[in-house]
Amino acid sequence: MKIDREITAGLCKNTIFEGLTQEQIADILPCIVATIKTYGSEECVGDKGEPIHNLGVVLDGSLKVCDEGPGGKQGVVANIGKNELFGEAVVFATGAGLEHRVVADKDTQVLYLSGDFFLSPCGKNCTGREAHQGIVKNILRLLSDRALMLGKKILYLTAPDLKTKIAMYLCELYELSGSRSFHMPLNRDRLAEFFSVARPSLSRELVNLKNQGIIDFHRSNVTILDLDALYEIAGRDAQNTNEPT
């Protein structure tokens, strides 16, 4: 199907197409058997247990991942925004289905990429072999990153309390950034989801750390004021961590 330049420009920002030009993306999309679907607000995109054969890329709008709680009440466990993916966790798993119900949060447009494309060489006589290999490499890196993130989440979930989880997270960002001042990549809502806690609880613990003089923050920008104290809360030895220059 024909994909306009506005869509290919947006796909340049997606992890799957990282490193590819708009022209390369436009050339190879027909090989991926791309289809586009539009969903209305609250319309079901995929039900729990439903098998997935395609990767979904949100072109416009947003999706919410829902789970049924006590009494049948639906709760949102994650949000999927523009240019983000869904279905990558199960599309390559034999007989696996969605772990949660996926619903359109508002009017949403989704581009679907055939999962078979990533599992077998392209049978078409095309010249985009380098771009094909780049996409496969990107999806493998994405799946690897997701696996590492899951391992980290398990580590956070086994922490004794929320304060420890936050300290562990901030220490990790400190080590990755090489600076005591950095931007948290997850906003409060996403971070609360990652820690599986309520947003007010997260905000309260951040304020407590600020009042104790351990950190300072404005929105998602954080500065560590007392590194030793933060490492102590995280249950790690700050003396074994070299101060970044």
pLDDT digits (tens, 9 = 90+) for 139-185: 888 888 877 877 887 888 889 999 999 999 999 999 989 999 999 98
Homologous superfamily assigned to 5-152? Jelly Rolls (2.60.120.10)
Residues facing 114 on adjacent strands: 54
Pick from 54-63, 124-133, 157-166, 227-236: least confident: 124-133
Mapped onto helix, strand or coil, the DSSP state of residue 65 is strand
Query: Which of these, 94, 110, 114, lies nearest to 102 by C-alpha position?
Result: 110
* In the chain, ranges of CATH 2.60.120.10 domains: 5-152
Could you name the CATH architecture of 159-240? Orthogonal Bundle (1.10)
Quote the pLDDT of residue 240.
47
| Residues 203, 214: Cα–Cα separation, whole Å | 15
* In the chain, ranges of CATH 1.10.10.10 domains: 159-240
Query: With bands split at pLDDT 50, 70 and 90, how would you rate the model's confidence at 245?
Result: very low
Query: Which of these, 52, 43, 157, lies nearest to 99 by C-alpha position?
Result: 52
Residues facing 60 on adjacent strands: 109
Query: Which of these, 1, 2, 33, 26, lies nearest to 12 by C-alpha position?
Result: 26
109 C-beta neighbours (distance < 10 Å), count? 16
